[in-house]
């Protein structure tokens, strides 16, 4: 349930509503908006009796939230959310491009790629220091040394850093270095990690699981938001289907489907969807055309020698083309 406050409701009145909600055994999360403040009731198993809430000063009305996710829902927050990090706004009028290697391999590689993608207009640098690999014998990432290299990338280029926390143990370190913490597809339903991500002050890039429905993705975002972190960016990165000419199938419908029911920004990862670099530009065009708030793309200075995901990594000149091609696509009409 949402408690909608009157336009002129005071902070004290909002606090009194939250206090009453707590007395009823639930939690009240204030959601300030441009026109109104609402308080979202979470923690209820079903019907909430509003007879002790409605009479409180400053309360305008109560609205039942019909979806199982609440804080993520447009019913709770009708306007699209924008997430501001430094100079960058995700969910604004222009798509935000995040680019870089799959994994940080060494300082020279990381900086070379960072300079290239920065020059072409990327605003965020991606690169894994902790890598979730299918095989335990594959390169698992440089760990903290990789995070230190990412910090040097930020220092030199001014790019923001998005990098993955793969478990409960490394998220604390990742949050010290990252501007955006990625939670990968394989961890989308790692509830302990999601709850922990709800306690950080850093925004979270939450990737859709390999076989997750949109509702499951939104429920995972709800885990993060219900712990107090409202800065969640969703990422469509392809799902498992019977199609076998790509690594995954980019669910292009996910973008309008999510936007219909949720206010959260959605970015697209065409690289892990395609698995082949030659499909990355067409999928990127499609993603922007359908209303994605940005892209997260793998780029490498020497893809054939990349330690991970070389086959789907763009060459620098391809990334330059991608940036040109998406310029012409009308965005958010």
Site residues (CB under 5 A) for Mn ion? 102, 309
93 membership: H or E segment, kind and range = none
Smallest distance, Å, CB 236 to Mn ion?
Answer: 15
Residues 74-113 that bind ligand PEP (CB under 6 A): 102
**Which of ligand PEP, Mn ion, none does 196 bind, CB closer than 5 to 8 A by kind?**
none
Coil, helix or strand for 31?
A: strand
Is 212 a residue that touches ligand PEP (CB under 6 A)?
no
Among 77, 207, 263, 300, binds ligand PEP (CB under 6 A): 207
Q: Given CA atoms 51, 52, 55, 56 in this order, what sign does their dihedral have?
A: negative
**CA-to-CA distance for 324 and 98, rounded, in angstroms?**
15
In degrees, rounded to 5, the angle at the alpha carbon of residue 85 between the alpha carbons of residues 80 and 87 is 105
With CA atoms as reference, report the closest residue to 110 among 142, 155, 149.
149
Q: Site mask, ligand PEP, residues 251-290, x = CB under 6 A?
A: ------------------x--x------------------
In degrees, rounded to 5, the angle at the alpha carbon of residue 306 between the alpha carbons of residues 132 and 125 is 70
Q: Which is nearer to Mn ion, 28 or 184 (CB)?
A: 184
Q: Which is nearer to ligand PEP, 21 or 159 (CB)?
A: 159
Burial annotation 200-218 (CB, 10 A radius, 16+ → b, else e): bebbbbbbbbeebebeebb
Q: Which is nearer to Mn ion, 222 or 309 (CB)?
A: 309
Whether the CB-CB separation of 266 and 255 falls below 8 Å is answered with yes
Q: Which is nearer to ligand PEP, 26 or 319 (CB)?
A: 319
Q: What percentage of the chain's residues is helix, strand, coil (to nearest 5)?
A: 35, 20, 45
Among 28, 91, 95, 128, binds ligand PEP (CB under 6 A): 128
Is 132 a residue that touches ligand PEP (CB under 6 A)?
yes
Smallest distance, Å, CB 218 to ligand PEP?
Answer: 17
Token code pair at residue 231: 């800065």
Is 310 a residue that touches ligand PEP (CB under 6 A)?
no
**Which of Mn ion, ligand PEP, none does 207 bind, CB closer than 5 to 8 A by kind?**
ligand PEP
**Which of Mn ion, ligand PEP, none does 202 bind, CB closer than 5 to 8 A by kind?**
none
φ/ψ (deg, to 5) at 26:
-115, -175
Residues in touch with ligand PEP (CB under 6 A): 102, 128, 132, 184-186, 207, 237, 269, 272
């Amino acid at each position: 349930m949402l408690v909608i406050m009157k336009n002129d409701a005071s902070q004290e009145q909002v606090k009194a509503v939250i206090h009453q909600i707590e007395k009823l055994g639930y939690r009240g999360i204030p959601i300030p908006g441009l026109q109104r403040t609402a308080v979202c009731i979470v923690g209820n198993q079903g019907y909430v009796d509003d007879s002790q809430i409605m009479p409180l000063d400053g309360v305008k009305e109560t609205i039942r939230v019909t979806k199982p996710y609440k804080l993520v829902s447009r019913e709770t927050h009708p306007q699209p959310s924008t997430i501001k990090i430094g100079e960058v706004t995700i969910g604004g009028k222009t798509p935000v491009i995040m680019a870089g290697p799959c994994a940080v391999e060494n300082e020279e590689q990381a900086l070379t790629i960072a300079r290239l993608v920065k020059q072409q207009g990327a605003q965020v640098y991606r690169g894994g220091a902790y890598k979730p690999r299918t095989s335990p014998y594959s390169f698992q990432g440089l760990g903290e040394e990789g995070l230190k290299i990412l910090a040097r990338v930020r220092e030199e280029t001014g790019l923001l850093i998005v990098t993955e926390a793969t478990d409960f143990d490394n998220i604390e370190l990742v949050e010290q270095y990252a501007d955006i913490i990625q939670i990968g597809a394989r961890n989308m339903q790692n509830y302990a990690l999601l709850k922990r991500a709800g306690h950080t002050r850093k925004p979270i890039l939450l990737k859709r699981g390999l076989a997750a429905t949109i509702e499951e993705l939104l429920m995972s975002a709800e885990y993060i938001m219900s712990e107090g972190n409202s800065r969640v960016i969703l990422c469509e990165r392809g799902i498992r289907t019977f199609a076998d000419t790509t690594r995954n199938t980019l669910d292009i419908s996910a973008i309008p489907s999510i936007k219909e029911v949720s206010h959260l920004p959605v970015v697209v990862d065409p690289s892990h969807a395609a698995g082949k670099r030659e499909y990355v530009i067409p999928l990127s065009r499609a993603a922007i055309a359908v209303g994605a708030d940005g892209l997260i793309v793998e780029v490498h200075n020497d893809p054939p020698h990349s330690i991970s995901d070389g086959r789907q990594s763009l060459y620098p000149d391809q990334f330059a083309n991608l940036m040109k091609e998406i310029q012409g696509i009308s965005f958010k009409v």
